[in-house]
Amino acid sequence: MRKQEKAQREGKNRSRPRLTRRRFIQTTGAAGVGAATSGVLRPGTAAAETVDYPVKPIVALDELSPGTTVPFTYPDDRSPALLLRMTAGVVGGVGPDASIVAFSSLCTHKGCPVSYKPEHRLLVCPCHWSTFDPEKAGSLVIGQASQPLPRIELRIESNQVVATGVAGLIYGRHTNLV
């Protein structure tokens, strides 16, 4: 038996190129997948046609006592979100004590609206009980979901809490700005 035939039978065909990480990224564009935080590229448009997120005032800073939640929509009216003022500073928080955060309300599993459970300080989905931690950037604690909740980027402007972007893809969308 010739050497090449023998190698093929033994599954040792070295003529097939190995799929390296670099090669995978080159062929699939996987490195380009990620959350846009200052603007998004609409499908089918050139880089010069990126669209910026709206800057949207949500609530006055002095109306937010610790434990307050404020429902709102962002970046458009079809996208429910929830702003929370926690009792202490948290990951990604804004405001005087870095305790204010906001997330898309749509569960990353199948899009049911999550709600805040103050007794556990967690965001819980009523459909299949995925649970997210608003004190740790919306990370998944347990459940069917596999992604954290998209985080609404905030800043303080003239005593207002203002939404300025979204980190993560909102459930059910190909792009956050549609």
Binding residues for ligand FES (CB under 6 A) = 107, 109-110, 112, 125, 127-128, 130, 143-145
DSSP bridge pairs for 73: 80
CB of 13 to ligand FES, least distance (A): 44
Q: Which is nearer to ligand FES, 85 or 109 (CB)?
A: 109
Identified catalytic residue from 64, 82, 107, 109 = 109
Q: Which is nearer to ligand FES, 102 or 145 (CB)?
A: 145
Is 128 noted as a catalytic residue in this protein?
A: yes
> Count of CB atoms within 10 A of residue 120's CB?
11
Distance CA 93, CA 137 (A): 9
Identified catalytic residue from 42, 78, 117, 128 = 128
Residue 62 and residue 159 in contact, taking contact as beta carbons nearer than 8 Å = yes
CB of 40 to ligand FES, least distance (A): 24
CB of 171 to ligand FES, least distance (A): 8
Q: Is 30 exposed, middle or buried (0-12, 13-18, 19+ CB in 10 A)?
A: exposed
Q: Which is nearer to ligand FES, 9 or 128 (CB)?
A: 128
DSSP bridge pairs for 105: none
3-class SS of residue 31: helix
Q: How many residues does the chain have?
A: 178
| Catalytic residue IDs | 109, 128
